[in-house]
Amino acid sequence: MPNRCVDLRSDTVTQPTLKMREAMMYAEVGDDCAGEDPTVNRLQSLAAKKLGKQAALFVPTGTMGNNVAVLTHTNTGDTVILDSEAHIYYYECGAISALGGVMPITIDSEDGCPDPDQTEFYLQRDPIRFPKISLICLENTHNRRGGRAISLEQMRIMQSIAERYNVPVHLDGARIFNAAHALGVQAKDIADCVDSVSFCLSKGLSAPVGSLLVGSGDFIAKAVQVRRRLGGGMRQSGIIAAAGIVALTEMVDRLVDDHENAQYLAKELAEIDKLELNLTDFHTNMVVINVQNIGITAPEFVKIASKHDIRTSYFDQDRIRLVTNHDVSREDVEYAADVLVKLIRSIMN
Ligand SMILES: Cc1ncc(COP(=O)(O)O)c(C=O)c1O
């Protein structure tokens, strides 16, 4: 078999499809800051409908979607409850604090959903002495927890706690369609558990750019202003929204292929006892392996794997992340599994 390069770093590396490029070429556009871009308007309507919410707002990135949501739901000096490994806390350069004056309260969890009792403990605190908690943020699927899908039952528990304390819930649903496949539900069933959701077109759905924030009509009307404040008011953005429409209409169902490929990869790697992999930990398009037991650090492993043309990424000193995606075929995954298994065995010897 000839050598091939397999890029398992992320689903963000996916290339736009030919249909997306064609749609971009012929997109009808207008000034979206005046609400006049027909393609953006079409994408927003489609997104709101798919997620079962009243309205949607097109934003350039998932990070901006999350931050527009947090800033819209909160005021300066408020606090937000989130999982200690949440993308909003971990990877967004402190934006909620830097831009919104909002403090995080992080709660540890095994699976990415903050512990309900701990959450309630914070919500019960004396509002005179402690900062106001004005939002709970969830993430589904959960990136740093290996693409885990949080169950609807867990989400509903969080929803009922939030309702009891009159606090809204925002979902970082960057990969909400992966979660829906894994849970065997519709994305709107997940969205129904929360007040707002941001989701990405530019990950497994393969669009080049773009995310959407969905919520009630009132919420989105406020969010439009926050987006503009953050510099996210775009003009003829129908050019990129056109690719987003293809992503939403044609790329959602095929995510299941990425999940099957990730399961295949996990099964092959699980043959190596020392990795102690549990296949049920991998719900979607990610496989996480801990290389501590094989006597190498994760950054070293990434370097060595890339010399064998398998591109991977790491979360920390011990954990490697492998992500299947549209641009990685079944044959690529079989090849990568074979190379990685041989490589790991050679490191152990
Ligand atoms: C869970 C999650 N949320 C949000 C984002 C941010 O998306 P973007 O890179 O478009 O800002 C990512 C990106 O990888 C993510 O994994």
CB under 8 Å to 163, separation ≥6 — which residues? none
Query: 18-250 — its CATH code?
Result: 3.40.640.10
CA atoms within a 13 Å half-sphere pointing along the CA-CB vector of 71: 24
d(CA 294, CA 272): 10
Give the per-residue pLDDT at 300: 98
How far is residue 170 from each of residues 70, 97, 344, measured CA to CA in Å? 8, 16, 40
User: 63 near 231, Cβ under 8 Å?
Assistant: no
Is the C-beta atom of 232 inside 6 A of ligand 1?
no
Cα of 63 from ligand 1 centre, angstroms: 6
Is the C-beta atom of 139 inside 6 A of ligand 1?
yes
Query: 6-10+254-348 — its CATH code?
Result: 3.90.1150.10
Task: Out of 83, 202, 203, give the residue to mutate to test ligand 1, the one with the largest number of ligand atoms within 8 Å of its CB.
Answer: 203
Give the per-residue pLDDT at 349: 84
d(CA 320, CA 317): 9
Angle (deg, nearest 10), helices 238-250 and 18-25:
140
Cα of 62 from ligand 1 centre, angstroms: 5
List per-residue pLDDT tens for the chain, 349 residues long: 557 899 999 999 999 999 999 999 999 999 999 999 999 999 999 999 999 999 999 999 999 999 999 999 999 999 999 999 999 999 999 999 999 999 999 999 989 999 999 999 999 999 899 999 999 999 999 999 999 999 999 999 999 999 999 999 999 999 999 999 999 999 999 999 999 999 999 999 999 999 999 999 999 999 999 999 999 999 999 999 999 999 999 999 999 999 999 999 999 999 999 999 999 999 999 999 999 999 999 999 999 999 999 999 999 999 999 999 999 999 999 999 999 999 999 999 8
Q: Looking at ligand 1, which residue's alpha carbon is closest to its atom 5?
A: 62
d(CA 42, CA 303): 44
Give the per-residue pLDDT at 127: 85
For the CA of 142, the closest atom of ligand 1 is: 1
pTM of the model: 0.97
Give the per-residue pLDDT at 2: 57
Is the C-beta atom of 67 inside 6 A of ligand 1?
no
For the CA of 66, the closest atom of ligand 1 is: 4
d(CA 170, CA 145): 18
Is the C-beta atom of 200 inside 6 A of ligand 1?
yes
CA torsion through residues 176, 147, 261, 152, sign: negative
Domain boundaries, the chain: 6-10+254-348, 18-250
Is the C-beta atom of 172 inside 6 A of ligand 1?
yes
Is the C-beta atom of 143 inside 6 A of ligand 1?
yes
Q: Looking at ligand 1, which residue's alpha carbon is closest to its atom 4?
A: 62
DSSP 8-state symbol, 142 = B
Cα of 64 from ligand 1 centre, angstroms: 9
How many C-beta atoms lie closer than 10 Å to residue 341's C-beta?
16
Q: 323 — phi, psi (to 5°)?
A: -125, 125
Is the C-beta atom of 286 inside 6 A of ligand 1?
no
Give the per-residue pLDDT at 110: 84
Give the per-residue pLDDT at 332: 98
Is the C-beta atom of 174 inside 6 A of ligand 1?
yes
User: Which residues face 79 on adjacent strands?
Assistant: 103, 133
**DSSP secondary structure, 34-50, as one string:** GT--HHHHHHHHHHHHH
